Amino acid sequence: MEHLRAKKGFICDMDGVIYHGNQLLPGVKEFVDWLHREDKEFLFLTNSSERSPKELRQKLARMGLEVDEDHFYTSALATARFIHSQSPGCSAYVIGAAGLVGALYEAGITIDDVDPDYVIVGETNNYRYENIVHAVKLVRQGARLVATNSDITGPVEGGIVPACRALVAPIELATGKQAYFVGKPNPLMMRTGLKMLGVHSAEAVMIGDRMDTDVIAGIETGLETVLVLSGVTAREDIDQFAYRPGYILDGVGDIPG
């Protein structure tokens, strides 16, 4: 554990690591206090595309945890960055929440439901059959299909809910087109996170509750990896995968010791 505590940078998933729904998880305050006390560089890097960094800061503040906006990076921001790098000034039809729409707008991408360059899908509570039908039509007309992240489910208070991979699947099946997923484990998002921290991958840690996004993202980007059992993964699930995390902990509160 001392090897882990000696690292300079910490990239943490949020859902299932920092909170469930609107409930802060045990040990999180102590962990964040330790990060500040030890002058660690840290970033909350989430595959959730629904909220902006400002909204995430406010959400944590409501739960009693104060974290500045510059410590957040979302799959919505990563998606907007990717789309802008591919096709500056392009247009998109969006199925997603305000965090995604706002990030695209800030990147100079216009919203178009008639003849867009892209169909972009993220998590949203306003997921409707009519939107899926329209997205299928646009993709069949030539729009490129992009999704914010490949999580199939996400943890909430009292269980799990369908996440982006499950929401985009009907469009893929109906069009025969595969979506391009920008969020973890895509190295694009991880490399940007490391740049934001200003540390080398060998000096950083990836902490998450999922083997198929968080842990594999850390392994493939060269970070030390920590799987916490406070989210969607149980200890018996780990053997289903051909790779293993460097550490398996009950929660982030175990790290300060």
Does the annotation count 13 as an active-site position? yes
Element holding 146 (H helix, E strand) = strand 144-147
Q: C-alpha angle 217/86/186, rounded to 5°?
A: 5
Q: Residues with Cβ < 8 Å from 75, sequence gap 6 or more?
A: 46, 47, 48, 49, 122, 148, 149, 164, 182, 183, 184, 189
Does the annotation count 15 as an active-site position? yes
**Which class for 240: exposed (0-12), middle (13-18), buried (19 or more C-beta within 10 A)?**
exposed
Q: Residues with Cβ < 8 Å from 25, sequence gap 6 or more?
A: 17, 18, 19, 230, 251, 252, 253
Per the CB < 8 A criterion, the answer to whether 130 and 171 are in contact is no
The residue annotated as part of the active site, out of 15, 212, 214, 254, is: 15
Q: Please tell me whether the peptide bond between 116 and the residue prior to it is cis, using omega within 30 degrees of 0.
A: no
How many other CB atoms sit within 10 Å of the CB of residue 220?
15
Per-residue DSSP letters for 18-64? Answer: TEETTEEPTTHHHHHHHHHHTT-EEEEEES--SS-HHHHHHHHHHTT
Q: C-alpha angle 218/94/53, rounded to 5°?
A: 50
Enter the DSSP assignment of 215. Answer: I
The residue annotated as part of the active site, out of 13, 151, 214, 254, is: 13
Which residues are marked as active site? 13, 15
